[in-house]
Chains A and B, each alone.
Chain A
Amino acid sequence: MSSEIYQEFILELYKNPINFGKMENADLHAESFNPLCGDKVEIFVKLNGEKKVSEVKFIGSGCAISQASASLLTEEIKGKTLDELAKMQKEDILQMIKVDLSKNPSRLKCALLSLEVLKKSISK
């Protein structure tokens, strides 16, 4: 049996996340918690002279969807400007995780947790 949501690359990222870890002196930093399922994501971003993302890390725990999407998002934002980060949308995340969660609003929340954290870090 294969699962629609749990594609190989999602599971791979769940087990071996990329950009996983903490960062000292981050320029942008925020965390969030989804109390319903206990998912947690904390993101750290360093910006270079041109205000572009030069380095990014995250730590977190929770379900495969929330954690894989954090890996994907942190990978995606490298080199982006603050403006570009601010423009990122739900659709960008859905494209990265390659699964239709429109009938799964509770799982959509998991998928979007890292985006929410990123937005929070910018607005601080």
Chain B
Amino acid sequence: MSNMNIDKIKEDFPIFKNNPTLVYLDSAATSQRPQQVIDAVNEFYTNYNANVHRGIYKISEEASEKFENVRTKVRDFISAKSEQEIIFTKNTTESINLVMRGWGEKNIKKGDKIVISIMEHHSNFVPWQQLAKQKGAKLEIIDINEEGELKESDFEKIKGAKLLAITHVSNVLGTLNNVNKLCKLAHDAGAKVLVDGAQSIPHMQIDASAIDCDFFAFSGHKMLGPTGVGILYGKEQVLEETDPFLYGGDMISEVHVEESKWNELPFKFESGTPPASSVIGLGAAIDYLGKLGMENIRKHEQIITQYALQKMTEINGVNIFGPKNPEKRAGVIAFTVNGVHPHDLASILDEYNVAIRSGHHCAMPLHERLALPASSRASFYIYNDKKDVDKLCDGIKEAKKIFKVD
């Protein structure tokens, strides 16, 4: 048993008060937010709304201080070495694009090699595909095996690469990649490593320093935080070698008619008015997760995932993708049901107020690799319990009945 009280946790999430029958199984797309996060955002606007880093009056000082406190919280949450390593962005996508523009365009040259994997989300696929095109660089792709794990024999491809950009957890297969090992391999080969942590950070303890990646990107909205804020972690030295990608106010220390000088880290990358309310909400989300304990969250999700894998496998005609061992995966389960198109399944489940995702989940290369036009996806978080899995399974059975498949 996990030592989390799900009914109690659920009470913190007003969405479930307002939609009492909702079974939310799409946290991989975006999580729900607890009242504590909503209150923090509300308090900012109600009590000390002001632009950060600009005014010398009281409420601006207060806003700036609370804003910078969140940077410290993020530093501690991912075990970074300093606040300089924490950059606020809009989301994972912007974090990755920052690396592509600021580091990639400067360092990737004709004939260089960039390595990614076939399970990448489009946001960690397209930037590298386009950079490779633009520079005449090679894009090499690590394939998956039958279990939906990275094919170890393809790790050879990392030799001679300049950059490895890899997801920590697949947003389709749920596969948990051994990024510590991949970083070691890549660094031995002289490559830098970007880890897409969008699907790992909400669900497990992250130690960026121990992983030893050069960049780690994630979004606030998948980890109970508001939309509009993401993080790019970068090792200080690598960030020093990275150019800014958005020019404007705040990121500058001196501007003259002929030239400008960049501000110090991390402000060099934070141009324009930041999403202060979202950052402050993210701080409350980190507090909330910290209270539950990331170890407990991971344990709880492994229990649910194992239960779901077992219950779903018992249903005839359900095909599950990704690792069968909950130790090797996160709580994201992509599946298909013979004779029922994923879109139709999602519609029928919606009639029961069970929210799942259907489509390619922004991972078209992976779906092509699996020869699937689309799949269904259920994903779990701290407010889901076994009853939710049961309702999902009931819905799948009902869909099979409606479509007369057995």
Contacts and interface: CB of A to CB of B under 8 A. Distances in A.
A10 to B, nearest CB: 10
B348 A37 contact: no
Interface in B354-406: 358-360, 364, 367, 373-374, 398, 401-404
B341 A11 contact: no
Nearest to B339: A15
A61 B373 contact: yes
Task: Name A's interface SS.
Answer: loop
B22 to A, nearest CB: 16
Contacts of A65: 343-344
Interface in A1-36: 1-6, 11, 14-15, 35-36
B361 to A, nearest CB: 10
Contacts of B35: none
A3 B373 contact: no
A63 interface: yes
A3 B373 CA distance: 24
A61 B398 CA distance: 22
Contacts of A104: 347
B351 interface: yes
B404 A38 contact: no
B339 to A, nearest CB: 9
Interface in A97-118: 104, 107, 110
Contact of B402 (A6, A37, A40, A110): A6
Interface string A61-93: 111110000000000000000000000000000
Interface string B179-192: 00000000000000
B28 to A, nearest CB: 17
Closest 5 CB pairs of A and B: A38-B373, A63-B343, A63-B341, A38-B374, A37-B343
A62 B341 contact: yes
Interface residues of A, number: 23
B342 interface: yes
Given A4-B351, A6-B348, A11 B402 contact: yes
Contacts of A15: 404
A39 B360 CA distance: 11
A62 B343 contact: yes
B347 A38 contact: no
B342 A37 contact: yes
Contacts of A1: 398, 401-402
A80 B64 CA distance: 68
Contacts of B358: 37
Given A3-B402, A38-B374, A62-B341, A107 B359 contact: no
Given A1-B402, A15-B404, 17 more contacts: A1-B398, A2-B402, A4-B351, A5-B347, A6-B348, A14-B403, A37-B343, A37-B374, A40-B373, A61-B373, A62-B343, A63-B341, A63-B342, A63-B343, A64-B341, A107-B347, A110-B343
A6 B398 contact: no
A119 B80 CA distance: 56
B195 to A, nearest CB: 27
30 contacts: A1-B398, A1-B401, A1-B402, A3-B348, A3-B402, A6-B347, A6-B348, A6-B403, A11-B403, A11-B404, A14-B403, A15-B404, A35-B364, A36-B359, A37-B342, A37-B358, A37-B359, A37-B373, A37-B374, A38-B359, A38-B360, A39-B343, A40-B373, A61-B373, A62-B341, A62-B373, A63-B342, A63-B343, A63-B344, A64-B403
B266 to A, nearest CB: 36
